[in-house]
Structure 1
Amino acid sequence: MGDTVEFRSNGNNARGYLATPVQGAAPGIIVVQEWWGLNSQIKGVCDRLAGEGFTALAPDLYHGELAGHAEMDRAAELLNRMPVDRAARDMSGAVDYLAGHDAVRGDGVGALGFCMGGNLVLLLAAKRPDKVTAVVSYYGVVPNPDELDVAGLTAAVQGHYATSDGFMPTEAARGVERRLNDAGADCQFHYYDAGHAFANEENPIGTYHEEHARTAWVRTLEFLRARLG
């Protein structure tokens, strides 16, 4: 189990959930939430990463607000009300906090995001190439792939996308992949015969796919270990 922590965000305070491994200093991973908020499932991802030998921090981009299970209208409201500039500052502050934490070793950190967070980690990597060296995006919803700003991105990128995703169609996902390749990114995408949020065991839309989730998780760990040590 992790703990709630406070860190600086552009002169203000932000909060997040920090999970650390038992063996001491480890590679750091920023975990970015789905549109539900910093809920038990995202905290569980941090705990799982800690169990695999990483130090994981999930910043609370909704600042204490949360959508309950299956409250999709509430989740959409929270997403639409979230100030994008504040979220960017919070993620950047989380990067600095994590990179300087005693439980983290190495010069760079990774970023892992789901749904909304899968888009945000790409933007974070483009804004913080000094610290973010590896990115994993799970079915990141990118509204306009052709306009995705990844000009500053130097991190290696791994993507996990579904072929029956009503929120992020396959062609849009391939558009993100093309955009990254055109920018010269070290990029590898995987596609699964599944629906949106197939790796979220608590998702309320009935698309969780245990086998594909397990495969994607193994690939994620292998990628992060190879890139972060």
Structure 2
Amino acid sequence: MGTRISFTRPDGQSAEGYLASAAKANAPGVVVIQEWWGLQDQIKGICDRFALSGYDALAPDLYAGTVIPYHDSKAAGAEMNSLNFLEATDQIVRGAAQFLLKGSPKVAICGFCMGGAVAVLGAIRVPEFSAAISFYGLPPEEAAKVADVKVPMQAHFANEDDFVTPEKADAFEAAMKAAGKPLEAYRYDASHAFMNEQRTVHDRNCSELGWGRVRDFLTKNLG
């Protein structure tokens, strides 16, 4: 449904990503951020689903073409750890937002796992975003102070998660509340990555519930 495109970063360099366009002009936009596996088919499918829901969706390729197979967590971790998160947010992610804003009135960011952490960074560092959604991903506190979040956020956490544990989710919610930041937070009786239908941890009921909440949140914040 979508296609691979090139777009320009704020520093003038080129980046690439997967773009799925809505069937209408001037649709709101969503920048979709990959899991630590790279820009694989499942993330492209997320973009396609956003497009079918009426949004232009662009997933920037943060790994520049590298895709890790699901069984190789070691390689995925190494690729993620080699990523400069702040530069990727300021240049690749912001460039994607600026690209969508050429035809979209408002743009949000939605990320999964590693991408969820980038979504929080985007809510702090990218002025083009009007809303942010994080699925089971949070950046280290030293990299992102929630008091600096500039847009409404929606966060989805799994109760059976060894990466973003319920304790980390609790701390994030408490910090956002203390800072007076708008947050919708949801918990699911599921495992980490429950939105990924290509993996055994996928939970269809929780996934569809999450999708409905995302659509409602985007309607409220993007129009």
What interval of TM-score do these two structures reach, taking the shorter chain for normalisation?
over 0.9
TM-score, normalised to structure 2, is 0.94
Preserved CA contact (<8 Å) 1:37 1:67: yes
Preserved CA contact (<8 Å) 2:147 2:181: no
1:125 paired to 2:123 = yes
Preserved CA contact (<8 Å) 1:123 1:150: no
* Counterpart residue number, 1:97: 99
* Counterpart residue number, 1:15: 16
Letter in 2 for 1:188: E
Preserved CA contact (<8 Å) 1:110 1:132: yes
Q: CA deviation at 1:182?
A: 2.2
Aligned counterparts of 2:139 and 2:93: Cα–Cα separation in 1: 18
Q: Deviations over 1:134-183 (max 9, x none)?
A: 11110014344x86323432211111101110111101011111222222
Q: CA deviation at 1:8?
A: 1.1
Pairing of 1:1-229 with structure 2 (within 5 A): 1-9=1-9, 10-88=11-89, 89-100=91-102, 102=103, 104=104, 106=105, 108-128=106-126, 130-144=127-141, 148-203=144-199, 206-229=200-223
Q: Could you tell which deviates more after superposition, 50-59 or 182-191?
A: 182-191
Aligned counterparts of 2:181 and 2:98: Cα–Cα separation in 1: 23
Q: Secondary structure at the match of 1:181?
A: helix
| TM-align CA RMSD | 1.4
Preserved CA contact (<8 Å) 1:142 1:168: no
Q: Secondary structure at the match of 1:31?
A: strand
Preserved CA contact (<8 Å) 2:120 2:139: no
Q: Secondary structure at the match of 2:146?
A: coil
Give ranges in structure 2 of 5+ residues lacking alignment: none
Give ranges in structure 1 of 5+ residues lacking alignment: none
Letter in 1 for 2:206: H
Q: Percent identity?
A: 37
TM-score, normalised to structure 1, is 0.92
Q: Provide the aligned length of Structure 1 versus Structure 2.
A: 221
Preserved CA contact (<8 Å) 1:46 1:58: yes
Q: Deviations over 1:112-134 (max 9, x none)?
A: 00001101111111112x32111
Preserved CA contact (<8 Å) 1:148 1:176: no
